[in-house]
Structure 1
Amino acid sequence: MELVIATHEGLASGLVSAHDMLAGKNDQIMTIELTDTGIRDFRARFAKLMERYQNDQVLILTDLKNGTPHLVAEEYEEAHPASVRVVSGVNLPMVLELSHKLISANLDESAKKALDIGRREIDVDKMQLA
């Protein structure tokens, strides 16, 4: 399985940079970011990136549900339902945990795990309730 992180500018590359510092480089993680070159350019770059994975299973993590990276990824998932899953709300714990099991990972289980990690890692320390 391959992991693609599709976000607005700066986030995907930042997540992978932090991942690499903490866990080491993983060649199965690819990034693509929406920049000021626009949506049309992003769609073209996304299509080119996904050509690499035509015969692979791909988990795509996006930053913002219904943002452009998510919508473009979702369109790709609809065209390739057997081999692609899209999960929104990417965060560093999600990337770190998923990256260790990419080679033998099951696509649906990985998508479910991404959701579980995202939910589990959101917390408030010492919250004072009024």
Structure 2
Amino acid sequence: MMASRLNAIQKDAEATKEALSHQLFEFQSSAQENHSVLHAQLSELVDYIHRGRADKKGESGSRGLQQPASTQIKGSAVTPTFEQRVEMAQRRIVHTVLDADANRALFERQDAAERDRERRRKEARSLKRRRRD
């Protein structure tokens, strides 16, 4: 009876470990993707800042003249201006950070639950040893 309970606990622990490993892999993949997106967005913001400084000094910006309208028209498609893209990028950054925080909190809760399960397993083993003695 005790052996079957221990087998069940061991299977549960292995399943939990596998699930956590899978979630960690997904989190790492997501973090890498978010890092790439943030890097691209930050590069675009830095370019924008440098172009603004160059414009103030009377120099031509690295991207040349921009159409001053609220939207730029390319072919038949309407695309947002750089400023609108910056605002969208800022919103994406905020959402990315919030999502990362939520994922981190989830993993912290799962880690705490795993530590609690491990503590209970140790207590059960200790109790079993005391019963044998």
* Fold conserved between structures, TM > 0.5: no
Choose between structure 1 and 2: higher strand proportion. Answer: 1
Larger Rg: 2
Provide the TM-score with structure 2 as the length reference: 0.25
Provide the TM-score with structure 1 as the length reference: 0.26
Choose between structure 1 and 2: higher helix proportion. Answer: 2
